C-alpha cells in the first residue's frame, strides 16, 4: 500500500502544494465551504441523545476524518466514493476521461471481491494502484492522479470548532487517536486544511526548542489507524479492536475511550462493538449517516450526539 513515507519527499511536497492550491476550500470561498455546513436531520431516537453527557469522563479520544474532522464535498473518501452533485460530476468529466468513475468502480469492485474471497469482510483498496491501472500509469503518476481526482471531486475544509476541540483534549493530556477509512493523502489534506502537523511527535518532539514551524494538532501516531495501511475498512470493527488493544497497554480500558464519527454504523456501531463510548457528529448534513433500521446500529447506538464541535467541547472539555 502507498503511504506518504514510501513516496519520494519531492513528490510529497508537490502533492502538498497541489492540495493546498486546489483541494482545500477556504472560509472566504462560499461556493466551496459554506455549502458543506448545515446540521443533519436526525430521527427521534437519535435526536433525544443530543446534549447527553458521556456516562464517564473519557480517558482517550479518537475521531473519524471525513465528515467529522474534515467537511468535504462528498463526505467519503477515495475512488469508490459516490456523489450526487451534478456540478461535481461535470467537473470530473471535464478533467478526466468521461467514464473515469466507471473505470474506478470496476477496479475497486474486482479488488474488493478478491479480498473478500480471502476472508476480509470489508477490504480497502490502494488508490494510487487503482488510478494507475485505470489509466495505464506508473505508481508515482497514479499517486499524482488520485490526488488530482480528490481535489476535483472532494475538496475539504476544516470542520468549524474541530481544532479548538482537539486543542482542549490535548491540553487535558488525553491521548488522541484516529480511526479512518482513508488513503495515503488523507493526512496531507488534514495538515493543509488545518495548517498544522497531524502528529505530536513530528511537530513537538522532533523540532528543536525555539525553532520555527507550524503547530501540531497533537495526535499520537501510535493511535492512528488508517484503512489503506491495515487493508481493512469500517464497518469492520478490526481497527477499533486494535485501537482498544493499544490503549489497554497504556492502562486505558475500552469503555473509557470515546470515539467520534459521523456514521452511526461505520463509526458508532463498530466502535461500540469494541466496547467504546461513541458520539455521532451530526454537524454536516452531507455526510451524517444515521443508518436508521440497521441491526448493528440498533444493537449499538451512539452514546451521545452533537450538532457541532463547540457542543462537543462544552460536553467534554469544561
Together in a domain, 109 and 184: no
Indicate whether 293 pLDDT > 50. yes
Mean pLDDT (the chain, rounded): 90
| pLDDT confidence bin for 200, thresholds 50/70/90 | confident
| CA–CA distances in Å: residue 236 to residues 248, 266, 285 | 20, 8, 24
- Average pLDDT of span 107-124: 97
Question: What is the structure's pLDDT at 315?
Answer: 87
Total residue count of the chain as it appears in this document:
318
Strands 70-72 and 156-158, sheet pairing: antiparallel
Query: How does pLDDT run across 214-252, given as a tens digit for each residue?
Result: 899 999 999 999 999 999 999 999 999 999 999 999 999
Q: Do 143 and 287 belong together in one domain?
A: no
One domain, residues 115 and 95: yes
How confident is the model at residue 316, as a pLDDT?
86
Identify the domain boundary among 106, 132, 153: 153
| Same domain assignment for residues 139 and 162 | no
| Range(s) of the domain holding residue 255 | 4-77+156-316
> What pLDDT score does 202 carry?
47
Burial (0-12, 13-18, 19+ Cβ within 10 Å), 105: middle
Q: How far apart are CA 232 and CA 151, in angstroms?
A: 24
Percentage above 70 pLDDT, the chain: 86
**Higher model confidence: residue 90 or residue 255?**
255
Identify the domain boundary among 124, 153, 182: 153
Strand partners, 174: none
Confidence band of 30 (pLDDT split at 50, 70, 90): low
- Domain finish residue from 153, 172, 207: 153
Mean pLDDT of 150-178: 94
Per-residue pLDDT at 277? 98
Q: What is the pLDDT of residue 88?
A: 60
CATH code for the domain in which residue 231 is found: 3.40.50.1000
CA atoms of 230 and 220, how far apart (whole Å):
17
**Average pLDDT estimate for 1-11:** 74
| Residue of higher predicted confidence among 224 and 37 | 224
Q: How confident is the model at residue 92 (pLDDT cuts 50, 70, 90)?
A: confident
H-assigned helices in the chain = 9-22, 44-47, 86-95, 100-117, 127-135, 139-153, 162-171, 186-194, 200, 227-230, 238-248, 270-273, 295-299, 309-316
Give the model's pLDDT for residue 168.
95
What is the average pLDDT across 171-188? 96
**pLDDT computed for residue 203 by the predictor:** 46
pLDDT at site 80: 56
> How many domains does the chain divide into?
2
Same domain, 121 and 219: no
Amino acid at each position: 500500500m502507498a503511504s506518504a513515507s514510501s513516496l519520494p519527499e519531492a513528490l510529497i511536497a508537490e502533492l502538498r502544494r497541489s492540495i493546498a492550491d486546489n483541494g482545500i476550500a477556504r472560509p472566504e470561498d462560499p461556493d466551496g465551504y459554506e455549502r458543506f455546513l448545515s446540521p443533519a436531520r436526525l430521527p427521534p431516537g437519535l435526536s433525544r441523545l443530543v446534549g447527553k453527557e458521556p456516562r464517564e469522563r473519557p480517558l482517550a479520544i479518537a475521531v473519524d476524518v471525513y465528515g467529522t474532522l474534515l467537511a468535504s464535498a462528498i463526505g467519503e473518501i477515495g475512488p469508490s466514493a459516490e456523489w450526487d452533485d451534478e456540478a461535481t460530476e461535470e467537473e470530473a468529466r471535464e478533467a478526466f476521461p468521461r467514464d473515469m468513475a466507471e473505470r474506478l468502480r470496476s477496479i475497486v469492485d474486482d479488488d474488493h471481491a478478491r479480498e473478500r474471497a480471502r476472508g476480509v469482510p470489508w477490504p480497502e483498496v490502494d488508490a494510487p494502484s487503482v488510478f494507475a491501472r485505470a489509466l495505464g500509469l506508473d505508481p508515482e503518476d497514479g499517486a499524482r492522479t488520485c490526488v488530482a481526482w480528490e481535489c476535483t471531486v472532494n475538496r475539504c475544509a476544516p470542520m468549524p470548532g474541530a481544532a479548538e476541540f482537539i486543542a482542549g483534549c490535548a491540553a487535558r493530556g488525553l491521548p488522541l487517536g484516529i480511526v479512518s477509512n482513508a488513503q495515503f493523502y488523507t493526512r496531507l489534506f488534514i495538515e493543509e486544511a488545518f495548517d498544522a502537523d497531524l502528529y505530536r511527535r513530528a511537530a513537538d518532539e522532533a523540532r528543536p526548542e525555539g525553532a520555527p514551524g507550524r503547530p501540531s494538532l497533537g495526535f499520537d501516531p501510535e493511535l492512528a489507524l488508517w484503512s489503506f495501511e491495515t487493508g481493512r475498512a469500517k464497518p469492520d470493527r478490526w481497527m477499533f479492536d486494535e485501537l482498544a488493544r493499544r490503549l489497554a497497554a497504556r492502562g486505558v480500558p475500552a469503555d473509557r475511550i470515546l470515539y467520534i464519527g459521523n456514521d452511526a454504523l461505520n463509526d458508532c456501531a463498530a466502535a461500540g462493538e469494541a466496547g467504546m463510548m461513541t458520539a455521532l457528529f451530526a454537524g454536516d448534513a452531507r455526510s451524517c449517516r444515521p443508518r436508521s433500521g440497521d441491526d448493528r446500529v440498533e444493537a449499538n447506538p451512539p452514546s451521545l450526539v452533537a450538532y457541532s464541535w463547540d457542543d462537543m467541547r462544552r460536553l467534554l472539555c469544561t
